[in-house]
Chain A
Amino acid sequence: MSPGGAPVLDVDALLDDPATRIVVCCGSGGVGKTTTAAALALRAAERGRHAVVITVDPARRLAQSLGLTELDNTPRRVPGTEGDGSLHAMMLDMKRTFDETVAANADAEKAAQIFDNPFYQALSSSFAGTQEYMAMEKLGQLRRSDEWDLIVVDTPPSRSALDFLDAPKRLGRFLDGRLLRFLGSPARSGPLRLIGAGLGLVTGVVARVLGAQLLRDVQSFVGAFDSVFGGFQERAEQTYRLLQAEGTAFVVVAAPEQDALREASYFVDRLSAERMPLAGLVLNRTQHVLAPDLSAARASAAAEALETAGEHPLAAAVLRLHTGRVRRRDRERRLRDRFAAEHPEVGMVEVPARPEDVHDLDALREIGRALGGSDSAG
């Protein structure tokens, strides 16, 4: 199926290609990223890949759609898959990932100092970008472990769909920034003295606003973190390069709605600016129509005629139902075509809306078939 003349996103070719090692699903909240990631991973596994899917949502979404009751920070084998491949799934525990990363980069004494620091405790459990940073860190870890030949990663439900690209850099910039250097060694002399007046003002303001205790916590955190920081920064950069590498594919997921497509559009531009390899767009949960030859106008006129005559209430109601579905589909197609016109190079595949929720492998398999292009109803 080639929606609206746009190039087709050939999901099966992508999943079957042994060179494809990482698939990143991104998009705004509520568009079905997690389900799409799980369906892609399952389809890949059942086509012979050894796949692992990382989800970062705190909710039980993936657990439910994979029929699992518990997901922790370790990939678990998903039972019930068919074929020679295998599927593992894990839910990211951001605090644990952060702790493990610190432990791997610091000696025991330094690590203990860091874990005890109140600023670290807050940073590792609530900083807006930590989840994104740790999702990428975990992705890097799994990739380096080389235990799986395909990693599918679902991105966090950020305030902005792009946070997972920006947050690691922002945290890195902060940890490497002038403010922290200064806070980490307030007594330092030399060149810093020249800009000391400005910095003095800044630390004075930060101390007044946030309290001097916070500054002391930050200072001791930086002192302890300094020794492991190089490792952190280097790994963040490695992961960023990994995302740009051949073998990585970004799949943007969008619902056929104005907001979601606007975000998708922004995302496509941003990925291209960052030279991130975009595979294409999944237009998720589209309205499909089983009687496409009956137009909305004709169905609506027929319903009205029956209603006026006061006859055949069943047929009249069904025609009204059909009218609504066709109108909705037409509106979705207009939005889709506008997106396609703005991004003629982006391949697309549609996944029809399902009447019911997804909570088992069969439903994921069906979504996988639609992603593979073999369920092109409507």
Chain B
Amino acid sequence: MSSRDRDWDGARLHVVTGKGGTGKTTVAAALALALAAEGGRVLLVEVEGRQGIAPLFGVPPLSYEERRVAAAGRGEVRALSVDAEEALVEYLDLFHGLRRAAGALRRFGAVDFVTAIAPGARDVLLTGKVSEAVRRRSRPGGPHVYDAVVLDAPPTGRIARFLDVTAAVSGLARVGTVRDHADQVREVVHSAETVVHFVTLLEEMPVQECLDGIAELRALGLNVGGVLVNKVRPALLEDSVLTAAAGGVVDVDALARGLQAAGLPEPDGLARRLSGEVVEHARHVRMEREARERLAAAARPCYDVALLEEGVDLAGLHRLAESLRAQGAV
């Protein structure tokens, strides 16, 4: 690996959260590609059964089995969809040698009980599987199987509860083995090798949820990583033009002359209609700038993730990954 200075060099577990609709799956995927670019093996994990990762990479739906989804430079990205039921069965097998009991457990509703109803147990199972992947070594004392794990985590509104597994189970399972399991998960989640990144859009509510989420995680003593600003569009107009346009003023005559010079028909009418687009755009940019200023309160490094006008595909993800590397994130 090169010696260039990257912000999250020491991290091995990158948790990616964000308000619903901000595009955290896309950003998590780009981050995984960026981490793999210099020869690493990276695991990208989803935990909500949404199958959001597979379409981005153009692969069939993921299962509870780590599978290569992309090559990145000399490295590779594998992906996994963690299902709480299967994690429970695996857990029972690993810790209790009880794989065969799964059928009986399911029949009596115990699987449903543990994975869907017993408060907190589901989250411990999901984070438990992620922690296992982070700690896994090819042989005892050998190197880690994964150089990094990227978790496409639940949205900001639920992230603190999701990661704060100790609190989740301490009120309930005070002594069971799930409690021991939770303690191990806690160790991984709180370690210096884990960071939680926030994805946001430059809009009021996503920024508010981002700031609230950062404060909440800090209060829990978790490491807050960077803020990834998604769907950023290139600045096309000069600041003076934007300021005037946000106030409703556009130099329609100059615009019409330009349109005429470009050979477009009816330049005056066209200029008037286009100036309406400029005003809307300028107001949007003004709102985005206010949002960006508010983000500064978090005092975290911010990275821009460009809007992919044509939708997200593998080529687009590689461009985003390259840009994250160029910005020094990873």
Closest A residue, CB atoms, query B120: A126
Which one of A29, A121, A207 contacts B20 once the chains associate, using CB atoms below 8 Å? A29
Inter-chain contact B287/A179, CB cutoff 8 Å: no
Residues of A near any B CB (own CB < 8 A):
28-31, 58-61, 118-119, 121-123, 125-129, 157, 159-160, 170-171, 173-174, 177-180, 182, 198-199, 201-202, 205-214, 217, 255, 258-260, 289-291, 294, 298, 302-303, 305-306, 309, 311-312, 314-322, 324-325, 327-328, 331, 355-357, 359
Shortest CB-to-CB span from A234 to chain B, Å, is 20
Inter-chain contact B168/A126, CB cutoff 8 Å: yes
Nearest 7 Cβ contacts at the A-B interface: A30-B21, A29-B20, A315-B258, A312-B258, A211-B176, A30-B20, A302-B262
A-B contact pairs, 13 of them (CB 8 A): A59-B205, A159-B49, A159-B154, A174-B113, A182-B108, A201-B104, A206-B113, A211-B174, A311-B261, A314-B255, A315-B262, A355-B280, A359-B204
Interface residues on B, range: 35 or more
Which one of B49, B104, B205, B275 contacts A160 once the chains associate, using CB atoms below 8 Å? B49
Inter-chain contact A157/B155, CB cutoff 8 Å: yes
Provide the residues of chain A in CB contact with B110, threshold 8 Å: 179, 202, 205-206
Asked, given contacts A30-B22, A174-B113, A210-B121, whether A205 binds B309 with beta carbons under 8 Å apart, the answer is no
Provide the residues of chain A in CB contact with B50, threshold 8 Å: 159-160
Inter-chain contact A208/B117, CB cutoff 8 Å: no
Which one of A29, A259, A306 contacts B258 once the chains associate, using CB atoms below 8 Å? A306
Inter-chain contact A356/B205, CB cutoff 8 Å: no
A-B contact count (CB 8 A): 228
| CA of A179 to CA of B240, assembled, Å | 69
Provide the residues of chain B in CB contact with A327, threshold 8 Å: 309-310
Inter-chain contact A321/B122, CB cutoff 8 Å: no
| CA of A60 to CA of B212, assembled, Å | 12
Residues of B near any A CB (own CB < 8 A):
19-22, 25, 48-50, 52, 55, 92, 96, 98, 101, 104-105, 107-110, 112-114, 116-122, 154-155, 157, 161, 168, 171-179, 203-206, 208-209, 233, 236-238, 241, 251, 254-255, 257-259, 261-264, 270, 273-278, 280-281, 283-284, 287, 309-312
Inter-chain contact B261/A312, CB cutoff 8 Å: yes
Provide the residues of chain B in CB contact with A177, threshold 8 Å: 108-109, 112-113
Shortest CB-to-CB span from B323 to chain A, Å, is 18
Closest A residue, CB atoms, query B266: A293
